[in-house]
Every structure is written in structure tokens, then in C-alpha cells.
Amino acid sequence: MLAVLIVNINTVLAADPKPAEIEELFFNTPLSAAITLESGVTYLFSGRTYTKTNKDTEKGFAKGYPKILPGGWKGFPRVWPGISAGFSGKGKTLFMFSGKNKFGKETYYQLTDIKVDKGYPKEITDDWIKLPKGWSKGDLAVVGAAFYHPPTKKHYMFKDNQYARLKDLKVEKAYPKKLPGIWKGMPKNFAKGIDASTFRNGHIYMFKDDEYIRFTKTKMDKGYPKKIKGNWPN
């Protein structure tokens, strides 16, 4: 699905698209990833566009966003590879899942802040991250959404209607589990699978189509879901 979206967007993009055209593309394409940096800045990725929201922003995006990828992201191929999920690591380290290479192997990028580290992308191996059995099968991305939860120092990853909790990037016992699981109040359409997720300013955010929900710990806050346009990040 991600690859199809990217091909379509490449087809309709003008050589020098206007801000309004980029904004339309962003809001008309489901999110593929959401990542919050150590600084509190959050990036939302949608097809070949992305946005930036500063830590103290109450509504909307930073000036000049959304933009066309790779934009300020350094070290990626000239043609954006497509990202299915991403999450923060220790310090300024970031990870992005980037689909399969020409050999049919799932790959990922490691970044320091917004720059790709040397030697990436690499194939996903158990030495780096041990994912649930069966998640690497089929044509869909190996991970559909992910986020790091600083209060517990654990990662959460989602694929289709399942989720897993990881400690030191290893899946904990009894996982994966079916959604909604521990996520109290999660709407039924979100429980079928989410597009992206992130931890920001003490809350967990999950995205589906053009909407998002917010959790305090594992309970959805009142007033959600909300439309991304006109509401994010409140």
C-alpha cells in the first residue's frame, strides 16, 4: 500500500509544487509514520510529504510546512524510499522501517537527529530487533506503526490488528496481542490497525486515516478521535 501511494504521488507532483498543493497531498494521504525527537519536535510523514510540529505548538505546524521529502532529512536517496514506521532510540538516535530491498529483505535506517548514519539502510536481523513471528510475512510492511515510551523505557509496535511491547528491542512474553488490548476506549476502526503512533508531551498519539486519538497512559482522553487538519496536536 505504501509503495502504491508513493508512485501515485510522484505522478501528480509538479516540478515545483505550490504550498497549497503540498498541503493538499499531505492531508489526502494517510500517515505512514510519526516520530518525536528527544527535543520534543514531532514529524508526521504522509506519502512524499512531511510536517514538523514544535514541542510548544498548540495547534498546526511549524512555518513552511508541510514540505516535500526528503526536505531537511539528510542522507536518504534522491527518490524518497518510503517509511512505514519510525521511533526514537537513545539520545538523538532514530530508526525508520523502509520496506523491502531488491532481495526481498526488510530494511531499516538509523539516523542521528535527522541525518542517516553511514552504512544504512541495513537488513533487519534478530541481532538488532527481534520481532514477533509472522510479522515479516506477506507484502505489507513488517511494522505499521511504532513509538518509544520514555516513562517505561519500552517500545510499542503495531501491525494490522496486533501490537507488541518490547524491552531492549526484544518482544516481551505474551506478545503480540490483539487490539485494543490495554488501550482503553480505542475506537473499533483503530483496533483494526493504525497508520502511525508517537509519544509527545506526556501523551500517546495514534493515527488512522485522517483522524487521531490521544491517550493518557493507556486510557483514551475524552473528545477523541479528532481530525488531524485543524486540531493537531491538541
Domains and CATH numbers, the chain: 2-227 (2.110.10.10)
CA atoms within 13 A of residue 198's CA, in its CB half-sphere: 30
> CA 116 to CA 150: how far, in whole Å?
23
3-state helix, strand, coil in the chain (%, to 5): 10, 35, 55
Percent of the residues in the chain that have a pLDDT greater than 90, as a whole number: 75
> CA 88 to CA 38: how far, in whole Å?
8
42-76 residue pLDDT tens = 999 999 999 999 999 999 999 999 999 999 999 99
Whether the CB-CB separation of 172 and 165 falls below 8 Å is answered with yes
Can the peptide bond before residue 30 be classed as cis, meaning omega within 30 degrees of 0?
no
The answer, yes or no, to whether residue 135 has pLDDT greater than 90, is: no
Specify the pTM: 0.91
> CA 20 to CA 26: how far, in whole Å?
10
The chain-wide mean pLDDT, for the chain, equals 90
Residue given cell 512524499 in the structure block: 48
